[in-house]
Every structure is written in C-alpha cells, then in structure tokens.
Structure 1
Amino acid sequence: MAELVYRPVIGFAKTLFKVWDLDIDCQGSENIPRSGGAVLVSNHISYLDFIFNGLAALPQKRLVRFMAKESVFRHKVSGPLMRGMKHIPVDRGQGETAYEHALDSLRSGEIVGVFPEATISQSFTLKSFKSGAARLAQEAGVPLVPMAVWGTQRLWTKGHPRNFKRSHLPVTIRVGEPVEAPRDQYAGAITRRLRERVQELLEAAQRAYPGRPKGPEDSWWLPAHLGGTAPTAEALRTAEAH
C-alpha cells in the first residue's frame, strides 16, 4: 500500500524534533508486533501524543492509524493530512461507524491507535478508560499494546500556550508487553487490566524523566501528587459538575 502522505509527514516530524532539539527517550518498541493487527493504547496529555505514539512504532516498520475526533478531519490543514494518512474519524454521535472502520483496519493487519481516556487529562494523571479498545481487540482477535508518554504536555496541551522553542526538552516513551484480549473474558476486566498496565508504564516514564520544574511558576505540568501545581482530577470533576 503506497503511503504518499504518511511517510513525508514522518520525515517532517523528525525534522521538527531536531529543530526543537527534543531529548526523546523511547524504550520498549520491540513489544509492538512487526506484523498483523494490534490496538496501541496510550495515556493522553497533549495534542501531540499521537506523533510520539507513532514514533515508537517506527523501529518495527509499522504505521499507526489513529482514531481521532471528526472535527480534526474537517480542518483545512489537518483534514487532508489525516485522511491521507488513513487515520480514523470518530463522530461521537455515530461511534459505530468509527468502530467498524477500526475493526476493518485491524482485520486487514493494521495497527490502530486509541486513547481510551477519550480526552486530554488536564491533571496529567490517568482518567477512567472506556472499553472500546478492549472490545475492538476481542472482536478482531488481536492484542492490546499499552504505552505511556511523558513530557509531551510541556510542548502543547489544553489550557496552556504552545512551546515550540528550541529547548532540549525531554520526552519519555515507554511501550509495554502486549495484553491479550480473549473473547470469553468480560471487556471491563480487560480494560481494568489494561489501565493498570498503562499506569505502571506512566510511572516508569515519570521516574526516568530527567526534567524538573525550574520554579513554582514552571510546575504547572507536574501532577499534584508529584509536587506540581496541575489541578487534581477531583478538582477538575468538581469544576465540570458546576
């Protein structure tokens, strides 16, 4: 299958990484299958997470088809790129269409990228996982590959300005061993096991991360439980409720 858009975009992204002088530490790419379908599952803390998720698959010579909200496909710039890279639009009012699209991709041997939290976590901690990733893996008969990214929130996230300066900013990526999704198991139980694995990988990425806040005003990207000033998940839920 010709990739007339995806591969040039990868080349452009790698050039940007060099321009930004990012310090990328990626471990565990060997856990991504070299062939066949799989569901790649990650935490979500930045608008750029999918780029770094896809980067982790490149050593295995795999391209990831990400599920993303449909509005991104309507944008005059990102829309043609997303369609050209064969990503999967998700209309939350008609989720079954995106589900069938993703299922077809998995059955044809593609890797599908999913953010089971659905939206960016502004607390930078894991939100609850939706069960769609587990159900896709079960129905397609493919494994789930958990992963975690850390540091990407410092580049561009919800509620904060973009930081695309040349800064030698660290980004840590950890990919875990595949999680099986037997059809005879309850999808909720698989989802809980998957979330626990992503949590372990996230904590490993945080421990390995070399960056630290430069002062109180720079601690916004660090979760409260790690001494930062990011809002807690409880505070965000209270704010949303009001």
Structure 2
Amino acid sequence: MPLAALLRRALWWTLLTLTGGVERRGRLPRGGCVVVANHSSHADTAALLAALDARHAPAIGAAADYWFASPWRRRICSRLAAGFPVRRTGGGTADLLARSADLRAGRAVVLFPEGTRARDGELGAFHRGALVLAQEAGVPVVPAAIAGTDRLLPKHGRLRPALVRVAVGTPLPASATPEQARDAVAALHRRTTSEPLADSRVRKRVAAVAGARIGPALGFAWACAEALSWPLMPELFLAVACVAVPRRALKLSLAALAGSLAGGLLALHLAASGVQLPQPLTTDRMRAEVRQELSAESAAAVRHQPWNGIPFKVYAREAGRADVAPSAWLAHSALSRGSRTLTVGLACGAFGFLAHRKRRCYGGYLALLGGGFTVALTLIVTGWS
C-alpha cells in the first residue's frame, strides 16, 4: 500500500470527520479500475480520497485549465489530491490514455465524466473519455455516488458542516456506454441521498427546544438558579443541549455563563442582606473551606471553584457574608466561571459535532451522562462531608 496514498486518505478522512463525518458503502474490486462519479463540489475529491481504498492509490483527473493553471494550485492538486491534468479544450483523451499503465498496475483512476460541477444535484451528460480509458486498459468501470458535498461546500458557497456519503456500485464492463455509466451513478446517487440518517426521538426533542429562542433563556435560568440554590450545575445542561444541537454550543454556553454571573451577584447581595437560601447537596466542610479561602484571597478565592468540586453558590453566599465588593466578585467569577462553562460547552458541542453519525444513540448517551453525573456528585459530596 503506497504510503502517500495512505497519508492522503488519513488526512481527508480526518478533515471530513471534523466537518460532519464521512460514510462509505461498497468497495472497489481488486486490480485496476476507472471510477466514475457525480460532481457537484470541490469537496468531491476529498470525499473520494477519504472513502476509497488506499491500496488502489487512486489518482484523480482534474481540469488542467483550473487546477494546473498556477503553481500553488498545481502543488495542492498533485500532492494533496493525487491529481493529474486533463485538458477540457482538446487533448483530454490523450491525457487520460497516458494513465493506462497505472490501471494495469492495479491503481484506480477517478474521473468526473460531467467535466464540471453540476448544479442542483442534476447529473449532466457523461463524456466518453472514462470509457475509452477503461477499454484501452481492459479494466472495469466502477460507478460511485457522492452525497452531502453540495451542502458541505456548495458551488460558489462557504464551507459548512455536513455528513458526506460515498457509495461504490457494482463494476460495469469496459464496453459500457456513457449513458449506462451515467444511469448507474444516478441510481446510486438517488439511493444515497434519499436514505435518512438514523436519529433519536429524544435528541430531536431536545434539539427543537435548545435550538429555538427559548434555549438560551433556559440555559440562563438554569445557571442563575444554580448560583442561588438549584443543586445541578449548568454544565449538566450544556452536556445535554450542546451535544443535541452543536451549532448552538457557543450561544448556549454564553447564556449559561451570563446566568451564572447574574445569579452569583444576586446570591452575594442576598447573603449580604441576611437572606439565606437553601443549598442542598452542600456541606459544612465546604462552607468552612470557602470562608478560609475568602479570608486569605478575598474575591480571587473563586478561582479555586472550577476544580475543587465546591458549588459556585457556596462561594457566592459566603462572599456576600464576607462583604466582598460586587465589582471585584464579578470580575473574578467571570474569569473562573467563564473558563469552565465555555470550555465544557464548546467541548460538548465539538463532541456532538464529531458524533453526528451516532445521534441515534443520544438516549444511551443521556443515560451514561446521568449515571456518571450521579456517581461524581455522590463522590464529591461524600468527600466534602
């Protein structure tokens, strides 16, 4: 297996995984073959390199007048995409036939017979070059369908997250016509795009709420209540919501942070006024530790909160009882709470993004999350008892 092909596959598989995931169905036959695929995005090449077997060391036919028109494009295309130039204005057949030796050596030559990117998902007419090359080398023609790249990187559009699917079909004989090859790719494409991604009903419901306008308001209210009395930290809300709807992770995290800071200020003022709200799942040892830290560091003591397991509400109430200045409290708590809340929220969003293809398992994820949180909370409370 050529090392360069293996590295290219790893590179594009990693990048596509980070932008929504890539799935493959079917495999290339043994030996050399000509792969013909639909073309709607510049991301099609990345999808094929990530999905096809590296042992075939696939080479991608690329428009000479575009990808080889400047030195930097030539380097990107040839080194990162194993591209070779194909002229579109005369001489293209000769460029293709020059790859016959690669096919006889067992490599795969990937071509987009439409010659350009299609619009609106409609396949254009297939040119004969791919079939001529297959006949010359005596290798089969393999149809492949790519779905999702038109959403990932639309023509003249910007990159955005999307799941990419690549389906490899049954090989056609070298004597196949362009119409037969086009029909095979079109049939594969219809099946690939019409197959829905399995999802969890629970995730859909959570995403509907978290993704609506009420989502940030819920995050704010949860965090504000936790800073006053509510026993469940806002990071639990973020772990539920941000995994369900990753694109809202930053907004939800900022809303939770704002709620935590608002609740902390309110708790400080209430405690300074002598109002004592209930604080379930806290202990006298926690309060004693916080009082000792506040006496030594004043408002800066809250920097310990993200790591020692003591709830934020304990710090807020004890800071009020110690007459800590609200401005200093807000500045230090914004730094300490922000570091943890934003880190957890964005990390959960990244996890939800990477686990997009497994969203049908969201119910199981919630069960594991609930169990793990219960065990961790029990250990923390027990450890501070």
Amino acid aligned to 1:62: H
Rounded to whole Å, the distance in 2 between the matches of 1:86 and 1:133 is 17
Report the equivalent of 1:179.
Answer: 172
In the alignment, which of 177, 191, 214 is matched to residue 190 of structure 1? 177
Is 2:114 aligned against 1:117?
yes
Q: Which has the higher contact order (CA 8 A, sep 6+)?
A: 1
Report the equivalent of 1:82.
Answer: 77
List structure 1 segments (4+ residues) > 4 angstroms apart after TM superposition. Answer: 1-4
| CA RMSD across the alignment | 2.4
Query: Does the residue aligned with 1:61 lie in a helix, a strand or coil?
Result: helix
Report the equivalent of 1:56.
Answer: 51
Q: Which has the higher helix share?
A: 2
Report the equivalent of 1:220.
Answer: none
Among all aligned residue pairs of Structure 1 and Structure 2, give the percentage whose two residues are the same amino acid: 30
Residues matched between the structures, number: 196
Deviation at 1:72, TM superposition (A): 1.0
Deviation at 1:178, TM superposition (A): 0.2
Rounded to whole Å, the distance in 2 between the matches of 1:89 and 1:110 is 17
Report the equivalent of 2:139.
Answer: 142
Q: Which has the higher strand share?
A: 1
Compared CA separation, residues 195 and 122, structure 1 to 2 (3 A): same
Could you list the runs of 5+ residues in structure 1 that have no partner in the other structure?
183-188, 215-242
Whether contact under 8 Å (1:170, 1:209) holds in the other structure is: no
Rounded to whole Å, the distance in 1 between the matches of 2:193 and 2:17 is 23
Farther off after superposition, 101-110 or 78-87: 78-87
Larger CA Rg, structure 1 vs 2: 2
Query: Does the residue aligned with 1:8 lie in a helix, a strand or coil?
Result: helix
Deviations 1:100-119 (A, max 9, x none): 32223223322100101110
Matches within 5 A, 1:218-229: none
Compared CA separation, residues 12 and 78, structure 1 to 2 (3 A): farther
**TM-score, with length taken from structure 2:** 0.47
Report the equivalent of 1:24.
Answer: 22
Deviation at 1:201, TM superposition (A): 0.1
Is 2:68 aligned against 1:67?
no
**TM-score, with length taken from structure 1:** 0.72
Could you list the runs of 5+ residues in structure 2 that have no partner in the other structure?
199-207, 209-385
Deviation at 1:81, TM superposition (A): 3.7
Rounded to whole Å, the distance in 1 between the matches of 2:138 and 2:58 is 17
Whether contact under 8 Å (2:58, 2:108) holds in the other structure is: yes
Whether contact under 8 Å (2:40, 2:150) holds in the other structure is: yes
